[in-house]
């Protein structure tokens, strides 16, 4: 039966070409005579899609018949980026395709860049979910991702006169990677009320009725593993009006407009991805998204479980659900509702199933980022869920009361319901209470959650409920795809590409650290990657940069805690020093390009001000004839996954300089080091474990430690004689003098440090930051020593593969085993 698919399983470039041509002419109905790069992309994508689909079907069939325990990764965000290159590399036919495309008159890079990014995420959290899908498939775990099919991904960023402008990202006009499943739908209820009654046996029955229905339609995308035939599924739900009788009556009685309006209201639910704003604000539509997605996904999961006709107590042996942050926490009361109201289980049995099923990953300790929903809103939208949440809380309060009778204050502190006006549901507490394991994403972060936000819960449940899984990245996309030459060089020394499936094998390249040929090649690759970024910078921004300069890069969402302001103040300080120098002194200076990139949330004014300052500084510095190539400042517009693939291999230094204790992990730090760049960073997040792995001689750490942050903040506010760092004062003086445009535009930014307590400790870390940048300039002068550091670092990065993370989750949290495909004959 397998043989009958062989027509699409091209083996040679000729077979590939005929597949591509067939798709262009028939599937896309385009004449070959006016085939442009977009059409070529379509043809190639469809040719590879055919191959993925076959293995995808087989994988799903294999999983259905073996019926192993499955992992369901619930994430509101999957920042996938482009799919074609990944598909080609994972299937392993990119070389054949490249040759074939050449004969058809196209260059592979041009065709690949026709694809729009699937930008269904904000930043690190969404990209982590995408890396996890890649690892789950590569390691043959039976796993599904569940999310929403947003019509608009994260907004596109344009820079106009130095300011960020947001443009909608409508990405779906041609998406060959998704398959609508119009037969897989779920009706999801909102609003209405709960009716309670006793049945004949005296049991309390709750019925949630008279609500509005919205239909969820499944769209599936294949997730191919690397070097395996396992192809997992990412299921995205799209919302549309439910075609109940209600709808028809309206339509027939001539209420055409009302019916269309209702349709639009329904479609609004999956219309747009929310950009993390400066505050987590309780928008009704966001809560609707969360419930819509949780309800559809759980219905689907329960439907699949029921096919196996196993007893309910087997549910946690068949299903592991991971909550990526608190966004899917409603899945906890939703599963309770299904088990109690629809399946008729008793509370204790249902609760025990729920707790064993869920795991919760926390991604931040920042209080303004912790989700809360107002009780009146939940009451209105999800009346039955609010009752269940109150019942969960009541049981929990009894438990705490019994175990800590002397600590009456504790009850208020740990209650799921915050006694404010209005009352709020604390989603993180609900997630902790409803899960069997809670994990942080790097060691320091996992320690911090145990001593800060979840301190009481450690007392209540004991320390074993809390664990750490340090984040990782997929080496397929972030080494092999983004930096093919480096991947090839490593493969040439290790005798093949096994390291892409076991990244710890990288340690073997440390043996080549003194090998002349290897060093030369390694250095040439870095230079070529810098040339590629320089070329992009010229094309996209018209700024010429010299690839022999030190490339210093900070790309990530713009947020005060990530401290792009520290970086740009440092750039200004460097500029002032350069201006003070004599021509003789300037000759000794290490030329540098400071690259920035990242989006600010549309409503986050301070972040937007930082972007504006960076661009204003760039406008002054880049046009200063005195300075020339000694310093350039580039803001890379619209940073996204596909741009990260060009940027990460091109750094000499990248900046990961958050206030200690604020960045849960960071993952771009790993991407830069894996690609032969060094890091300037604070003792925060995964920087600490990167240091442990690569050695402290190979990283530039600076700044105050997380244990000192509280006291330092206190000193800013309460010690009368507190003074701003004099070097930073100098920077502020020139900003105030209008050197970078109207000073009033930057007064809020400066004042947040000078007058409002410097919450992120920019002043406290400034001197240490500047000194460390000087060390970097000096170290970079010794190119041989620098090269040794970079090669050594790459060879020690094996720990940071997302494959290692997934194996840890599988073992410590999910208790699932891989389901390997049969050997191919």
- Which residue has tokens 């930051």? 769
Marked catalytic residue, from 138, 364, 470, 667:
667
Clarify whether 562 is annotated catalytic.
yes
- Torsion, CA 342, CA 344, CA 346, CA 351, rounded to 10: -30
Measured from the CB atom, is 370 or 528 closer to ligand 26V? 370
Distance CA 697, CA 715 (A): 32
Cβ pair 327, 129 in contact under 8 A: no
Burial class (CB in 10 A: 0-12, 13-18, 19+), 726: exposed
Q: Is the peptide bond before 409 cis (omega within 30 degrees of 0)?
A: no
Clarify whether 671 is annotated catalytic.
yes
DSSP string, 692-739: HHH-GGGSEE-S--HHHHHHHHHHHHH-TT----HHHHHHHHHHHTTB
Distance CA 565, CA 758 (A): 12
CB of 560 to ligand 26V, least distance (A): 9
Measure Cα distances from 478 to 145, 537, 642 in Å. 21, 21, 11
Clarify whether 363 is annotated catalytic.
yes
* CA 552, chain centre distance (Å): 23
* CA 651, chain centre distance (Å): 21
Spatial CA neighbour of 809 closest among 354, 359, 355, 301:
359
The 3-state DSSP class for residue 449 equals helix
Measured from the CB atom, is 145 or 176 closer to ligand 26V? 145
Measure Cα distances from 373 to 54, 124, 386, 563 in Å. 44, 24, 11, 29
| Count of residues making up the chain | 825
Measured from the CB atom, is 365 or 416 closer to ligand 26V? 365
Marked catalytic residue, from 13, 127, 445, 562:
562
Measured from the CB atom, is 407 or 418 closer to ligand 26V? 418
CB of 77 to ligand 26V, least distance (A): 8
Clarify whether 667 is annotated catalytic.
yes
Marked catalytic residue, from 70, 556, 563, 804:
556
Contact residues: ligand 26V, CB under 6 A: 123-125, 128, 276-280, 325, 363-364, 366, 368-369, 441, 471, 663-667, 685
Marked catalytic residue, from 51, 235, 363, 563:
363
Beta bridge partners of 62: none
Measured from the CB atom, is 281 or 538 closer to ligand 26V? 281
Tokens of 482: 């983004």
Measured from the CB atom, is 45 or 690 closer to ligand 26V? 690
Measure Cα distances from 338 to 294, 332, 334, 344, 371 in Å. 12, 10, 6, 8, 24
CB of 689 to ligand 26V, least distance (A): 12
Clarify whether 557 is annotated catalytic.
yes
CB of 684 to ligand 26V, least distance (A): 9
The CB-side HSE value for 458 (13 A sphere, CA atoms) comes to 14
CB of 286 to ligand 26V, least distance (A): 11
Cβ pair 224, 477 in contact under 8 A: no
Measured from the CB atom, is 208 or 373 closer to ligand 26V? 373
Measured from the CB atom, is 471 or 651 closer to ligand 26V? 471
Cβ pair 792, 510 in contact under 8 A: yes
- Torsion, CA 37, CA 42, CA 45, CA 46, rounded to 10: -150
Cβ pair 598, 273 in contact under 8 A: no
Cβ pair 597, 636 in contact under 8 A: yes
Measured from the CB atom, is 44 or 441 closer to ligand 26V? 441
Distance CA 552, CA 575 (A): 15
CB of 646 to ligand 26V, least distance (A): 21
Measured from the CB atom, is 230 or 662 closer to ligand 26V? 662
Cβ pair 134, 477 in contact under 8 A: yes
Marked catalytic residue, from 592, 671, 789, 796:
671
**137 phi and psi angles, rounded to 5 deg:** -70, -45
- Which residue has tokens 């289980």? 345
The 3-state DSSP class for residue 148 equals strand
Clarify whether 286 is annotated catalytic.
no
Measured from the CB atom, is 347 or 561 closer to ligand 26V? 561
Distance CA 673, CA 526 (A): 12
CB of 663 to ligand 26V, least distance (A): 5
Measured from the CB atom, is 590 or 691 closer to ligand 26V? 691
Distance CA 460, CA 467 (A): 15
Cβ pair 451, 476 in contact under 8 A: no
Cβ pair 76, 147 in contact under 8 A: yes
Marked catalytic residue, from 476, 557, 632, 796:
557
Residues annotated as part of the active site: 363, 556-557, 562, 667, 671
């Amino acid at each position: 039966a397998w043989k009958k698919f062989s027509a699409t399983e091209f083996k040679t470039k000729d077979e590939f070409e005929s597949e591509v041509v067939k798709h262009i002419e028939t599937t896309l109905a385009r004449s070959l005579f006016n085939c442009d790069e977009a059409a070529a992309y379509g043809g190639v994508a469809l040719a590879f899609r055919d191959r993925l689909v076959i293995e995808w079907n087989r994988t799903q069939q294999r999983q259905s018949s073996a019926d192993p325990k499955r992992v369901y990764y619930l994430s509101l965000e999957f920042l996938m980026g482009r799919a074609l290159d990944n598909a080609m590399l994972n299937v392993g036919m990119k070389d054949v395709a490249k040759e074939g495309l050449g004969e058809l008159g196209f260059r592979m890079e041009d065709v690949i860049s026709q694809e729009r990014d699937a930008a269904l995420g904000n930043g690190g959290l969404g990209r982590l979910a995408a890396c996890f899908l890649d690892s789950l498939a590569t390691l043959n775990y039976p796993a599904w991702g569940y999310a929403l099919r947003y019509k608009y991904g994260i907004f596109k960023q344009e820079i106009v006169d130095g300011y960020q402008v947001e443009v909608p990202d409508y990405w779906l006009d041609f998406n060959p990677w998704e398959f609508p499943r119009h037969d897989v739908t779920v009706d999801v209820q909102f609003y209405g009320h709960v009716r309670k009654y006793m049945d004949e046996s005296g049991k309390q029955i709750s019925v949630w009725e008279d609500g509005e229905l919205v239909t969820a339609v499944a769209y599936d995308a294949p997730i191919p593993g690397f070097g395996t035939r396992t192809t997992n599924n990412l299921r995205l739900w799209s919302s549309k009006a439910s075609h109940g009788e209600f709808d028809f009556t309206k339509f027939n009685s001539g209420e055409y407009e009302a019916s269309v309006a209702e349709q639009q209201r329904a479609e609004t639910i999956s219309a747009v991805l929310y950009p993390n704003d400066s505050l987590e604000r309780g928008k009704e539509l966001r809560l609707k998204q969360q419930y819509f997605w949780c309800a559809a996904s759980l219905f689907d999961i329960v439907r699949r479980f029921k096919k196996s006709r196993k007893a309910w107590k087997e549910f946690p042996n068949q299903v592991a659900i991971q909550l990526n942050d608190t966004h899917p926490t409603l899945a906890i009361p939703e599963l309770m509702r299904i088990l109690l109201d629809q399946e008729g289980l008793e509370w204790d049995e249902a609760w025990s199933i729920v707790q064993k099923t869920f795991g919760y990953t926390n991604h931040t300790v920042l209080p303004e980022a912790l989700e809360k929903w107002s009780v009146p809103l939940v009451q209105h939208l999800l009346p039955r869920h609010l009752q269940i949440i109150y019942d969960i809380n009541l049981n929990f309060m009894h438990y705490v009361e019994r175990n800590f009778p002397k600590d009456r204050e504790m009850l208020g502190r740990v209650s799921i319901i915050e006694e404010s006006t209005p009352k709020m549901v604390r989603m993180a507490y609900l997630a902790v209470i409803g899960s069997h394991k809670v994990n942080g994403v790097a060691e320091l972060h996992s320690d911090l959650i145990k001593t800060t936000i979840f301190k009481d819960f450690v007392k209540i449940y004991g320390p074993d409920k809390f664990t750490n899984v340090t984040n990782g990245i997929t080496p397929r996309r972030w080494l092999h795809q983004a930096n093919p030459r480096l991947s090839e060089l490593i493969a040439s020394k290790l005798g093949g590409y096994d390291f892409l499936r076991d990244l710890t094998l990288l340690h073997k390249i440390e043996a080549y650290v003194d090998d002349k040929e290897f060093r030369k090649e390694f250095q040439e690759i870095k230079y070529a990657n810098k040339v590629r970024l320089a070329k992009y910078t010229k094309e996209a921004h018209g700024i010429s940069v010299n690839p022999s300069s030190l490339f210093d890069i900070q790309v990530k969402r713009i947020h005060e805690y990530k401290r792009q302001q520290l970086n740009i103040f440092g750039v200004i300080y460097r500029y002032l020093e350069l201006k003070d120098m004599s021509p003789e002194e300037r000759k000794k200076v290490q030329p540098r390009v400071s690259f920035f990139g990242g989006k600010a949330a549309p409503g986050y004014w301070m972040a937007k001000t930082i972007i504006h300052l960076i661009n204003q500084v760039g406008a002054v510095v880049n046009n200063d004839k005195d300075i020339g190539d000694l310093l350039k400042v580039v803001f890379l517009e619209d940073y996204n996954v596909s741009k990260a693939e060009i940027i990460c291999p091109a750094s000499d230094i990248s900046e990961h300089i958050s206030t200690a204790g604020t960045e849960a992990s960071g993952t771009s730090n790993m991407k830069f080091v894996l690609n032969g760049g060094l890091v300037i960073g604070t003792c925060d997040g995964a920087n600490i474990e990167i240091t442990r792995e690569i050695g402290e001689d190979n990283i530039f750490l600076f700044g105050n430690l997380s244990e000192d942050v509280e006291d330092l903040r206190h000193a800013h506010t309460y010690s009368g004689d507190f003074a701003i760092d004099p070097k930073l004062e100098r920077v502020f003086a020139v900003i105030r003098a209008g050197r970078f445009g109207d000073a009033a535009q930057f007064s809020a930014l400066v004042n947040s440090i000078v007058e409002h307590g410097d919450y992120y400790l920019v002043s406290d870390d400034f001197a240490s930051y500047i000194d460390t940048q000087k060390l970097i300039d000096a170290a970079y002068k010794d190119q041989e020593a620098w090269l040794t550091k970079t090669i050594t670092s790459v060879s020690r990065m094996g720990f940071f593969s997302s494959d290692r993370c997934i194996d840890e989750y599988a073992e410590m949290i999910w208790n699932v085993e891989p389901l390997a495909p049969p050997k191919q004959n």
